[in-house]
Amino acid sequence: MLGLAGVGAGRSIAQSATPALPERFDINHLMGPVKDQGERKTCAAFAMVASAEAAIARNTGARVVLSEDYLMHKLFGDSPRPADETTGPAEMIDIARKHGFALAEDWPYQPRLCAPDALAPGCQILPPRSGSD
């Protein structure tokens, strides 16, 4: 037997009043489009954005596509990005709470991290500006 908070010490999980979990639960209708983070280590930003997109869809019915690059920009500001942009979920949550989100169409994701003076295709010299910046 396993004791749980709110469940008597002598009761097993199966005996608790908690309803059984479904075998499957499909949330595809809440998810935004499939995205590719490219060469960058931005998985925490992708997870934060996917969570926010799903929450907005669930709560309002609106489907939005948000920007991962906006969160990364807010994390590093105008300083040069390090070669390893790895961050964690807690940092992304803090950034999202402080700065909110931008739409992907206003702040497109760059799949490659480029040198500040790079002129290669797909690289921007400066990040785009939004009204909330």
What CATH number is given to the structural domain containing 101? 3.90.70.10
Structural domain includes residue 12: no
**4, β-bridge pairs:** 7
Q: Please count the structural domains in the chain.
A: 1
Q: What does 45-84 look like in DSSP terms, one character per residue?
A: HHHHHHHHHHHHHHHH-----B-HHHHHHHHHTTSPPPS-
Structural domain range at position 84: 38-133
pLDDT at 114: 66
Structural domain includes residue 28: no
Residue among 84, 80, 95 nearest 45 (CA): 95
Structural domain includes residue 7: no
CA distances from 76 to 73, 80, 82, 84, 106 (A): 5, 8, 9, 12, 19
Average pLDDT along the chain, 133 residues, taken 10 residues at a time: 41 65 87 87 94 94 93 83 84 95 90 62 53 50
Torsion of CA 79, 85, 90, 96, to 10 degrees: 50
Structural domain includes residue 82: yes
pLDDT per position as a tens digit, 2-23 = 333 444 445 555 556 778 888 9
| pTM exceeds 0.85 | no
pLDDT at 5: 44
pLDDT at 1: 33
pLDDT at 14: 55
Structural domain includes residue 71: yes
pLDDT at 128: 55
pLDDT at 27: 85
